[in-house]
Structure 1
Amino acid sequence: MAISPNQGATGGGDTVTITGTNLANATAVHFGEELATITGNTPTSVTVTSPSGSGAVDTTVTTSAGTSAPLSFFYLKSPVVTSVEPASGAVAGGDTITIMGSGLSGATSVDFGGTPVAPTVVSDSEITVVTPATAAGDVVLTVSTPGGLFDNLVFGFVDPPTAASFTPLLGPAAGDQMVDIVGTDLATASGVSTVTSVTFGVTPATFFYALNSTRLAVLTPAQATGAVTISLTTTGGSTTVPGAYVYV
């Protein structure tokens, strides 16, 4: 005899099929001491809805001829997600994101607002997935495993950024001047910053924060005197701010 699948959620509700011989007129299927609901039965198979349970249990089929030898069935805990990095990506898709948590080893799907993608399982606490192409906006991110679903997540898809202007136009060579950059798509629809780097010439800024989707605050790094361009990168793409910032 065989059982498929041989694992499921602790809350039950999974469709499980047991195959073998002489299974006609099954009167009971037990998962440990719990009785499953029989939904289909032929001489070679019994299909049931699994009851709730935990750990590893013996599964048996009872007919008028007796009770079968046990088959192992494993109850898996529901997945828990603790972080998604990054929390946003380009509308074109193709970004690799890392999902951390627990109970992820059997992950079968990561759904982005109705678009399912097969993940790569790294360990029980980590999976990676490549984002699909999706219209700009926030979507519900759902992780599916044999143990259940985790859908208390939001992922933002963003267009490539634009930058229109910045103030002030100059600052000290020692740095530490706060610069306000105006543009678009600097944060997700829910207000989460999408900016991953800002450079003045070739020198990266060490502090920057998107106030909203159209404004970015940046603390200038130290730099030799002269004019430099400001470039910024978000999870949606990269752009250069028009004009030049002057170190004096």
Structure 2
Amino acid sequence: MAPILLADVPAQGPTTGGNTVTLIGFGLSGATSVLFGTTPATTFTVQFDGAILATVPAGTGSVPVTVTTSSGVSNSLTYTYQAPSAPVIFALVPPIGLALGGIPVLIAGNHLSAATSVLFGSKPATSFTVLGDGAILATSPPGTGTVEVTVVAPAGTSNAAAFTYL
């Protein structure tokens, strides 16, 4: 009897691949291939007859996932590649600082983990540390007036949040 797939967890991930997906089903022992569309999994390991851990290859869109054993090809499940999202800023804490710079500013938001730079107007932050997907701690450079703070990442540039120099 051909293998049967019941679930792929998670059923979505980045277009770059590299994440691990657990395939759950029956008859998975002796798997000879795991395909995401027509592309083989980067690696896969049969955990037991009901589970395989597969490393997802790079891809786009939604693709069928199948497992092949000597008994045949499984039914397919859908795996969806998700493009990275541009960063979003919700708030700056504090939203004000000294003109000479050097003020630690917490940037709260979403999709911040891939940040490559933090800009205060056109000036880069003196330094910044990504604390997680929802926060960055940046040190303000010297400046004057009110400037727009943005976060730059491979997926794009965030919305702007106002920072006022005193």
The reply to whether TM is greater than 0.5 is: yes
Q: How well do the aligned residues superpose, as a CA RMSD in angstroms?
A: 3.7
Q: CA deviation at 1:96?
A: 8.9
Task: Name the CA shift for 1:43/1:194 in 2 (closer, same or farther; >3 Å).
Answer: farther
What's the counterpart of residue 13 of structure 2? 8
Query: Which of 61, 64, 72 is the matching residue for 2:67?
Result: 61
Q: CA deviation at 1:35?
A: 0.6
Following the alignment from structure 2 to structure 1, what is the Cα–Cα distance between the partners of residues 90 and 143? 12
Following the alignment from structure 1 to structure 2, what is the Cα–Cα distance between the partners of residues 21 and 34? 22
Read off the aligned partner of 1:27 and give its amino acid letter: T
Task: Name the CA shift for 1:143/1:193 in 2 (closer, same or farther; >3 Å).
Answer: farther
Task: Name the CA shift for 1:142/1:6 in 2 (closer, same or farther; >3 Å).
Answer: farther
What's the counterpart of residue 44 of structure 2? 39
Which runs of structure 2 are paired with 1:1-248 in the superposition (5 Å)?
Answer: 1-41=6-46, 42-81=48-87, 84-89=89-94, 97-99=108-110, 139-141=128-130, 144=133, 155-156=137-138, 188-191=139-142, 210=165, 216=166
Say if 1:87 and 1:155, in contact at 8 Å, map to a contact too: no
Say if 1:138 and 1:154, in contact at 8 Å, map to a contact too: no
Task: Name the CA shift for 1:34/1:194 in 2 (closer, same or farther; >3 Å).
Answer: farther
Read off the aligned partner of 1:190 and give its amino acid letter: P
Q: CA deviation at 1:55?
A: 0.8
Task: Name the CA shift for 1:98/1:38 in 2 (closer, same or farther; >3 Å).
Answer: closer
Q: CA deviation at 1:39?
A: 3.1
Task: Name the CA shift for 1:14/1:193 in 2 (closer, same or farther; >3 Å).
Answer: farther
Read off the aligned partner of 1:2 and give its amino acid letter: A
Following the alignment from structure 1 to structure 2, what is the Cα–Cα distance between the partners of residues 48 and 194? 52
Could you give the per-residue CA deviations for residues 90-124 of structure 1, whole angstroms, max 9, x where no partner exists? 99x9x89455xxxx6xxxxx66xxxxxxxxxxxxx
Task: Name the CA shift for 1:65/1:48 in 2 (closer, same or farther; >3 Å).
Answer: same
Following the alignment from structure 1 to structure 2, what is the Cα–Cα distance between the partners of residues 192 and 6? 46
| SS of residue in 1 equivalent to 2:17 | coil
Following the alignment from structure 2 to structure 1, what is the Cα–Cα distance between the partners of residues 11 and 127? 36
TM-score (norm 2): 0.60
Q: CA deviation at 1:40?
A: 1.5
**Identity of aligned pairs, percent?**
28
| SS of residue in 1 equivalent to 2:80 | strand
TM-score (norm 1): 0.42
Q: Which runs of 5+ in 2 are unaligned?
A: 1-5, 96-102, 114-125, 147-163
Could you give the per-residue CA deviations for residues 117-172 of structure 1, whole angstroms, max 9, x where no partner exists? xxxxxxxxxxxxxxxxxxxx953236649xxxxxxx9533xxxxxxxxxxxxxxxx
Query: May I ask how many residue pairs the two structures share in their alignment?
Result: 125
